[in-house]
Amino acid sequence: MPNTLNSTLGLNGVEIFLNMSGSHFETHKQRRRLNMILEATIKTGGIYLYSNLRGCDGNRLYFDGASIIA
């Protein structure tokens, strides 16, 4: 099993994980985010809170403002 930050923190008793992101929009990216978050939550237990930036950066990137609680 890869040694990830969330698995290390989970083994040390962390129960609430916060992820504030600035990930730009891509088609089907929300599904990938959800799968990664669910996988991390299943591995470590606890609660995972994810929030993504919303709006444009003034150039070409759009941030979809996705939020997930797992």
For the stretch 6-62, pLDDT in tens is 888 888 889 999 989 888 888 888 899 899 899 888 888 899 999 988 888 788 888
Determine the pLDDT at residue 2: 60
Determine the pLDDT at residue 57: 79
Q: Has residue 69 got a pLDDT over 70?
A: yes
Determine the pLDDT at residue 10: 85
**Ramachandran region of residue 45, left (φ > 0), alpha (ψ -120 to 50) or beta?**
left
Q: Has residue 1 got a pLDDT over 70?
A: no
